[in-house]
A and B are shown apart, each in its own frame.
Chain A
Amino acid sequence: DAGVIQSPRHEVTEMGQEVTLRCKPISGHDYLFWYRQTMMRGLELLIYFNNNVPIDDSGMPEDRFSAKMPNASFSTLKIQPSEPRDSAVYFCASSFDPLNTEAFFGQGTRLTVV
């Protein structure tokens, strides 16, 4: 398996624009996580899905953020409208069973909002 695949790797956008980040989890993993990493706040869980259903979105900072998982092999994180303070590295991770196994991270998307 190629691991968790995220796209794009880098995104530079202007304030106010819509940004869509994409993730393909490892096949067979039932759990998918979206994290945001900044120097100030570290690695924060934004939302996670189990079997394509959002379970906990309490980490989503504002209504400008939304996430979907239309099927087991694809998820998106959308920011609309984007703001400079959204600049961060966004990681997607997947796991077979979070109780007993680790989460595998994608390579991340470095987002810069200017």
Chain B
Amino acid sequence: QKEVEQNSGPLSVPEGAIASLNCTYSDRGSQSFFWYRQYSGKSPELIMSIYSNGDKEDGRFTAQLNKASQYVSLLIRDSQPSDSATYLCAVKPRGGSYIPTFGRGTSLIVHP
């Protein structure tokens, strides 16, 4: 059973702060990692993908991957109230169907 674990939160941060979201996974053979953002009542949308160890930056977002420790994180710098949403971590296996397994998501609240 492949598992993807996230703290459900909510994680509350003040506007302008750094929000740190974490995700751990059980399948050591996983090769692709994704962060989706889901606003309340809306569908998930992809915001970041990462495939190799280290950091990947895209604007205010940084994804960090550590395959040895089997965790992936998402940092949001200069958090804005519009970043308030649930963030889903998704992990794809190596080979096979390449269909991702999703975590349950972490609720982020950015308060003014």
Residues of A within 8 A of B (CB): 33, 41-45, 48, 55-56, 91, 98-99, 102-103, 105-108
Does B33 reach chain A (CB closer than 8 Å)?
no
Residues of B within 8 A of A (CB): 34, 42-46, 49, 88, 92, 97-105
CB distance from A6 to the nearest CB of B (A): 9
24 A-B residue contacts at CB 8 Å?
A33-B99, A42-B88, A42-B102, A42-B103, A43-B44, A43-B88, A43-B102, A43-B104, A43-B105, A44-B102, A45-B99, A45-B101, A48-B99, A91-B44, A98-B92, A98-B98, A98-B99, A99-B98, A102-B46, A102-B49, A103-B100, A105-B43, A105-B45, A107-B42
- The complex places the Cα of A55 from the Cα of B96 at a distance, in Å, of 12
CB distance from B56 to the nearest CB of A (A): 15
**Contact, CB under 8 Å: A41 / B104:** yes
For B103, the closest partner residue in chain A by CB is: A42
- Kindly list 7 other residue pairs between chains A and B, CB separation below 8 angstroms, not including A41-B104, A42-B105, A107-B42: A43-B88, A43-B105, A45-B99, A56-B99, A98-B92, A98-B98, A102-B34
- Contact A91 B43, CB 8 Å, known A43-B88, A102-B34: yes
Residues in chain A near residue B101, CB distance under 8 A: 45
The binding surface of chain B is classed by DSSP as loop
- The complex places the Cα of A4 from the Cα of B101 at a distance, in Å, of 20
- The complex places the Cα of A108 from the Cα of B42 at a distance, in Å, of 8
CB distance from B48 to the nearest CB of A (A): 10
**Contact, CB under 8 Å: B44 / A105:** yes
Residues in chain B near residue A98, CB distance under 8 A: 92, 97-100
**Contact, CB under 8 Å: A106 / B43:** yes
**Contact, CB under 8 Å: A107 / B43:** yes
Residues in chain B near residue A33, CB distance under 8 A: 99
CB distance from A100 to the nearest CB of B (A): 9
Cβ 8 A contact of A42, one of B34, B42, B104: B104
- The complex places the Cα of A102 from the Cα of B103 at a distance, in Å, of 16
CB distance from B2 to the nearest CB of A (A): 11
